[in-house]
Amino acid sequence: MTAKVIDGKAVAARIRGEVSGRAEVLREELGRKPGLATILVGDDPASSIYVARKHEACEEVGIASFHHEPGGDVSQADLTDLIARLNSDPEVDGILLQLPLPAHLETEPLIAGIAPGKDVDGLTPYSAGLLATGAPGLVPCTPRGVMELLASEGIDLRGKRAVVVGRSTLVGRPVAALLLAADATVTIAHSRTADLASVCREAEILVAAAGQPQLIDATMVSPGAAVIDVGTNRTDEGLVGDVDFDGVREVAGLITPVPGGVGPMTIAMLLSNTVDAATAAAQA
């Protein structure tokens, strides 16, 4: 079997189109565009590129974006104040604190300071709690993108055996919670899992989010499985996923490429979360 390759760029483009339509309706209702505030601290080149891409994407779909770059030596107190100001700014529907932060800053209290209704990255403990209890709320962008890719293929997750490789708060745990909410039977594997290969072979849905180049090979995949590769690893050979694409493609039923799979979904879901947050604020 040769797997069908899921085109993340195409799915992301469709979602951006939908977001654009919803943003236009909101602009008429609110008399302003939905707004996303971004905060970039320090001079990490990758972070600068990610934030610039988020602004371009906002522009494209009709979301106003407000950029804050308080300087690499900003204090914890000043950054806390900035977040508090954005929390009460009526033009701002979503707040994105670009990670990682420089070492002198404590990340968790800053994230926790983002108002839950503006937590478009879905990373506050409040949002994580809603997700863990199965309540509606803002969901982290990449995990939401994984679910959209599965939905784009019309996969009914009810009763399916799903394995998520990785247990980070950013990807693995929220993906597992979303799969569970969709009634899959979910196993979370991680760096201490014994016999990862046999755990993975049980999966009808396999989500790889370990950050280990080509960790998942063809011997670890059950024939016909849907394989979603979240991994983004920069190597001498370029950007590679956590899945050995060429080998696994011959066994799986569905597979996402890297690049061009989950990657494009992350920004699309950030835009979608921002419009969701603006919609909820308008209805409050």
CB count within 10 Å of CB 180 equals 18
CB count, 10 Å around CB of 88? 9
* Active-site residue identified among 93, 118, 119, 121: 121
Q: Which is nearer to ligand NAD, 46 or 84 (CB)?
A: 46
The dihedral formed by the CA atoms of 142, 143, 149 and 152, expressed in degrees to the nearest 10: -120
> Is 54 an annotated catalytic residue?
yes
When the beta carbons of 116 and 211 are compared against ligand NAD, the nearer one is 211
15: phi then psi, degrees, rounded to nearest 5: -65, -40
**Of 64 and 265, which CB lies nearer to ligand NAD in the complex structure?**
265
Nearest distance in Å: CB 190, ligand NAD: 3
Q: What residues make contact with ligand NAD under the rule CB under 6 A? A: 142, 165-168, 170-172, 189-191, 193, 196, 209-212, 215, 230-233, 262-263, 266
CB of 282 to ligand NAD, least distance (A): 28
Q: How far is the CB of 141 from ligand NAD (least distance, A)?
A: 8
For residue 113, give the DSSP letter.
T
Closest CA to 54 of 45, 46, 65: 65
* Residue 130 beta carbon to ligand NAD: minimum distance, rounded to whole angstroms: 20
DSSP for 242-283, please give it: SB-HHHHHTT-SEE--SSSSSHHHHHHHHHHHHHHHHHHHHH
Q: How far is the CB of 213 from ligand NAD (least distance, A)?
A: 9
Q: How far is the CB of 260 from ligand NAD (least distance, A)?
A: 10
For tokens 């236009």, name the residue: 24
Helix 141-152 and helix 8-30, axial crossing angle in degrees, nearest 10? 110
Residues 6+ apart with CB under 8 A from 283: none
Task: For residue 118, indicate whether it is catalytic.
Answer: no
Nearer to ligand NAD, 47 or 212 (CB): 212
Longest dimension (CA), the chain: 57
57, amino acid identity: A
Residue number, 89 or 202, with CB nearest to ligand NAD: 202
DSSP output for 44-112: -HHHHHHHHHHHHHHHHHT-EEEEE---TT--HHHHHHHHHHHHT-TT-SEEEE-SPPPTTS-HHHHHH
Q: Which is nearer to ligand NAD, 30 or 218 (CB)?
A: 218
The residues carrying an active-site annotation are: 54, 98, 121
